[in-house]
Copies of this chain bind each other. A is one copy, B any other.
């Protein structure tokens, strides 16, 4: 619980930031109206923000009969964010501004090697050195389970287990750090990017090289589960003798030479049916490098054998990598907007 004037100030500041970024630009009156905060208060905050270079006046409105109103816009370059995503084969990073515009991006060999955290630290340090003061938060994406900034489980990298990356780097760089699982970041990114309502239920489904998995967002929250096992859909029992993972594999061996993926339709349809009967999501997202549009129609038809069609989720295809990046950006932005001194 935190109910005091200081928190009010923070609350107001971040709500102004959010509104300005969302609207693109606004007058004081518009902000006061939208945020239900009094005009003088808005005025005072904007004055300070303009002094700090956080916002800029972008001219006067046309008169609506009286004095023309000044219009303000957020200065996108005032704060930058850094997103780093660690993968087995390489490490990518992007630096972006509040509008989501990428200012710089690059690639490096994987830092996920035995030597532990040092390589990653050095990597971030170098990036920070050149962009110094402007970076206000860091988001790190990892291929493993994350519990509140602490790596809980990352297959193949046991030396990272139980390491509190978030805490470590927040101490080290003195800026907010957020760490998230790749799949969960992708879901957040998809949700953000497609401007969906906040309380949607989404499922991001991938088949991958090491077996299928899924990321879940329910009522706008990422689902991790009791033992971070949520999304291990290959274990879903589907046929008398096979689970989802086996049905995909088994089929693939039989149809190896045919080149057709039709054998996957029924297992996926059953999985979609199970999702619907259990959590009835709004959307199920597939990865663009794994599945074709035509396939989706077949799955829709397949699922409707198990569930009345009106309850089925919308099936869409999206760019996983892009969503992942957007997700990390979104996490960063939230921190930049919310968390702030003064």
A: residues with CB less than 8 A from B are 1-5, 8, 11-12, 15, 34-38, 201, 214, 216, 218-219, 221, 223-241, 243-244, 270, 273-282, 306-307, 310-311, 313
**B residues in contact with A36, CB < 8 Å:** 1-4
Contact partner of A229 (CB less than 8 A), chosen from B223, B229, B306, B311, is B311
Closest-by-CB residue of B relative to A7 is B8
Q: Write the chain B residue with the least CB distance to A227.
A: B311
**Further contacts, 5 of them, CB under 8 A, given A218-B218, A226-B313:** A1-B35, A201-B225, A229-B307, A233-B277, A234-B277
Q: Complex: how many Å from CA A100 to CA B327?
A: 43
CB contacts (< 8 Å) of A228 on chain B: these are 280
Whether the pair A306, B225 counts as a contact (CB closer than 8 A) is no
Q: Can you report 21 residue pairs joining A to B where beta carbons are below 8 Å apart? A: A1-B36, A3-B37, A4-B36, A4-B37, A5-B8, A8-B8, A216-B279, A219-B221, A226-B311, A229-B276, A230-B278, A232-B277, A232-B280, A232-B311, A234-B277, A235-B273, A235-B277, A236-B273, A238-B238, A243-B306, A274-B274
Q: Given the known A-B contacts A219-B218, A233-B277, A235-B276, are A12 and B3 also in contact in the complex, defined by CB atoms under 8 Å? A: yes
Q: Among the listed B226, B230, B279, B306, which residue makes an inter-chain contact with A237, where contact means beta carbons less than 8 Å apart?
A: B306
A239 touches B240 (CB 8 A): yes
Could you tell me if B1 and A15 are in contact, using CB atoms closer than 8 angstroms?
Answer: yes
A306 closest partner in B (C-beta): B237
Contacts of A201 in B (CB 8 A): 223, 225-226
A250 vs chain B, min Cβ distance (A): 13
Collect the chain B residues with CB atoms within 8 Å of residue A229's CB. 276-277, 280, 307, 311
Cβ contact within 8 Å between A223 and B219: yes
Question: Are A233 and B15 closer than 8 Å at their CB atoms?
Answer: no
Residues of B within 8 A of A275 (CB): 278
Residues of B within 8 A of A226 (CB): 201, 280-282, 311, 313
- Asked if residues A279 and B225 are in contact (CB atoms below 8 Å), the reply is yes
Cα distance, A3 to B41, chains bound together (Å)? 11
Residues of B contacting A270 in the complex (Cβ-Cβ under 8 angstroms): 237
- Which chain B positions have C-beta within 8 A of A280? 223-232
Asked if A3 meets B35 with Cβ closer than 8 Å, knowing A218-B223, A225-B201, A226-B281, the reply is yes
CB pair B15–A11 under 8 Å, yes or no, is no
- Chain B residues in 8 Å Cβ range of A313: 226
Which residues from chain B contact A37 at a C-beta distance below 8 Å? 1, 3-4
Find A3's partner among B15, B227, B278, B311 (CB 8 Å cutoff): B15
Question: How many Å lie between the Cα of A279 and that of B225 in the bound state?
Answer: 6
Residue of B nearest to A200 (CB): B226
Q: Which of B11, B278, B307 contacts A279 (CB 8 A)?
A: B278
